[in-house]
A and B are shown apart, each in its own frame.
Chain A
Amino acid sequence: MSKHKSSLSKEEVLHIAKLANLFLSENEISKFQKWLSETLDYINILDQIDTKESSPTYQVTGLVNVFRKDEKKPSFTQDQALSNTKNSHDGYFKVKAIFEE
């Protein structure tokens, strides 16, 4: 069992926020430092359980490799697919450029 209290640095919180594509305010950064550390402290109790002989479970009813036929089926019209976007152009989703000119 890990005895030390978890403590996340401001840099770690900012790193996680970057991975998660989230924008945090200064106030949120310090709150998250505290909250995430508290939660990590709790979940560290799993260290008390021996799992050397145990393999992970990802699917509880035992399904593996579910396939479907690769065939055409009715789908959304272009208008339906675009009905909730704020930015479209000529029937396409419009996104920010990802390459510099």
Chain B
Amino acid sequence: MKLNELTISEVTKGLKEKKYSSRELVADCLSRIKLTDKKIKAFITVSQDEAMKAAERADKLIEEDKNSIEKYPLLGVPMAVKDNFCTEGIKTTASSNVLENFIPPYDATVIRRLKGSGAVILGKTNMDAWAHGSSTETSDFFTTKNPWDLTKLPGGSSGGSAAAVAADQCVFAIGTETAGSIKQPSSWCGVTGFKPTYGRVSRYGVISMCSSTDSPGPITKTVEDAALVTRIMAGHDDLDATSSDSEVPDYFDGLKESGDLKGLKIGVPKEYFMKEMDFEVGDNVKEAIKVFEKRGAEIREVSLIDPKYSVAVYTIVQRSEVSSNLANDDGIRYGNDRRSFGEEAKRRIMLGTYTLSSGYYDQYYAKAQKVRSLILKDFEKVFKSVDILIAPTSPTPALPVGATKDQPMFGEMQDILVEASSLAGLPGVNLPCGFSKNDLPIGMQLIGPQFSEKLLFQVGYVYQQMTDWHSRKPVI
């Protein structure tokens, strides 16, 4: 087995036992990128020299101090970073022509924390421009391909990060989710993607998109790895006033506590198994539900507000916040001027400007925020009778390259099953749960109440102990 194929928990063990060095591990990832990325196009920037230097520093620390891995839990572990996290000295574009040459003079809080834990940045991954989309097709540079089938999309917006993990170009990656941007590409690429509660992870230094829902999170090969990375990413940050100051529990230690799920009540929202859905998706998720049942969980059908309304709320809220956030991009202090915006960004800025404009604010923006309150109450109610929810992540497996053409609502319809929970700030995880007859991955999502990360990791861990969907690898 090549080192780049390993999980975080495997490589940290190997590094500690000095079976190999971080330099060897990073070199394996870099050669994997060299070999496969002409086809997959997950990376915008590969920071080879910086990565090798960081690996050298990690090896030196491991050499000098036998407890270094306890002190720095990601010491020497190579990661891929979505290109909307500011990385000091490394170009950060958000896949947009406006920021094509932007080199941040600072690190996002998440990057500072991960680097502080010893993680090594391999490079920056492609995404939908400004994170507007669910395909990477709105990237101003190029479209990333799905490692399971190069004629298919990886999903998005964190499509480059999900593809990089699926193709073993890195040990793990990080992404951001506004509504589905971690879970949906993880579903299409057959990897584990975790979206924390809004405010659990700092947004400082992440190029702002929809400030009331943006949530950074990890994309990994296992739930165990996702718990480890989230533990490092999470926590209060003075630089993000909306970050939560509640204590971050030790997700990782808790993982192996529960072997069975006796007493756990899992809700299955009937509205989330839509008529229009690909039947293979529904069938695979229903099989997964049986696995939880076998471990003692009680399954209950529940009802939630029809997700089509969440799509409308999300569209208004997201476009409105986008029009405000992207007003920053005037080309004066950094970046190119506003003529460089791509079509999708302009479309979203235009709609958001309209829904916030005088005479339409109440009809659209205020109305959407009122319906959002109803969505929050709806979840509060359902979590009185069940502990977590389970549903498909995306209504279909990966769609073909080109599927987004002339579809102004493409992203929203793809993300129909994740938008309500994002609007309510809820955490969720995508877990691979099967394959279509064309060998495309299918994913399910577990959704919990705000700040229920630990429970989601535990339940996800139990599922991955009983199944091996997450360990299957594409042939590239």
Chain A, interface SS category:
loop
**Smallest beta-carbon distance B92→chain A, Å:** 10
A19 to B324, CA, bound (A): 11
Other-chain residue from A49, A51, A61, A81 in contact with B450 (beta carbon distance below 8 A): A61
Q: Are B238 and A46 in contact (CB under 8 A)?
A: no
Pair A61/B198 contact, Cβ less than 8 Å: yes
A16 and B354 contact, CB distance less than 8 A: yes
Which of A32, A49, A59 has a CB less than 8 Å from the CB of B347? A32
Q: How many whole Å from A68's CB to the nearest CB in chain B?
A: 6
* B contacts with A, residue count (CB < 8 A): 58
Tell which of B102, B106, B313, B374 touches A76, judged by Cβ atoms closer than 8 Å.
Answer: B106
Asked if B364 is an interface residue, CB under 8 A from chain A, the answer is yes
Given contacts A42-B311, A61-B197, A83-B103, contact A35 B376 (CB under 8 A): no
Count of A interface residues, CB-CB < 8 Å: 45
A57 contacts which chain B residues (CB < 8 A)? 369-370, 372-373, 376
Question: Does B254 reach chain A (CB closer than 8 Å)?
Answer: no
Q: Which of chain B's residues have a CB closer than 8 A to the CB of A1?
A: none
- CA separation between A42 and B333, bound complex, in Å? 37
Asked if B370 contacts A51 (CB within 8 A), the reply is: yes
Residues of A near B197 (CB, < 8 A) are 61
B102 touches A42 (CB 8 A): no
Residues of B within 8 A of A61 (CB): 197-199, 242, 244, 425, 450
Choose among B105, B212, B335, B374 the residue that contacts A81 (Cβ–Cβ < 8 A).
B105
List residues of chain A with CB within 8 A of the CB of B105.
76, 80-81, 83-84
Using A54-B373, A93-B332 as known contacts, say yes or no to A23 and B198 having CB atoms under 8 A apart: no
Shortest Cβ distance from A8 into B: residue: B354
Best-surrounded residue of A22, A59, A93 (most CB of chain B within 10 A):
A22
> Knowing A56-B373, A57-B376, A84-B335 touch, does A42 contact B409 (C-beta < 8 A)?
yes
Pick the residue among B335, B349, B364, B376 that contacts A43 (CB under 8 A): B364
- Given the complex, which residues of B lie within 8 Å of A39, measured CB to CB? 315, 351, 408-409
Q: Which residues of B contact A16 (CB under 8 A)?
A: 350, 353-354, 357
A95 sits at the interface (CB 8 A): yes
Tell me which of B15-23, B124-132, B155-163, B338-346 binds A: B338-346
Whether, in the assembled complex, B312 has its beta carbon less than 8 Å from a beta carbon of chain A, the answer is: yes
Chain A residues, CB < 8 A from B339: 23
Task: Check B241 for interface membership: any CB of A closer than 8 A.
Answer: yes
Nearest CB of B to A82, in Å: 8
User: Are A23 and B372 within 8 A (Cβ)?
Assistant: no
Q: How distant is the Cα of A59 from the Cα of B338 in the complex, in angstroms?
A: 29
Q: Using CB atoms, name the residue of chain A closest to B377.
A: A54
The reply to whether A45 and B312 form a contact with Cβ atoms under 8 Å apart is yes
Complex interface: chain B residues within 8 A of A22 (CB): 338, 341, 346, 349-350
Asked whether any CB of chain A lies closer than 8 Å to the CB of B316, the reply is: yes
If A56-B370, A57-B372 touch, whether A36 touches B333 (CB-CB below 8 Å) is no
> Contacts of A87 on B, CB cut-off 8 Å?
332
Residue in A closest to B331 when the chains form the complex, CB atoms = A86
Query: B-facing mask of A12-24, CB < 8 A → 1, else 0?
Result: 0100110111111
> What are 29 sample pairs from A and B whose C-beta atoms fall under 8 A apart?
A20-B327, A20-B350, A22-B338, A28-B343, A35-B347, A39-B351, A39-B409, A42-B312, A48-B309, A49-B309, A49-B374, A54-B371, A56-B369, A57-B370, A58-B212, A59-B212, A60-B212, A60-B423, A61-B198, A61-B425, A66-B242, A81-B105, A83-B105, A84-B102, A84-B105, A84-B334, A84-B335, A85-B332, A93-B333
Shortest beta-carbon contacts, A-B, top 6? A56-B369, A60-B425, A84-B334, A51-B370, A80-B105, A66-B241
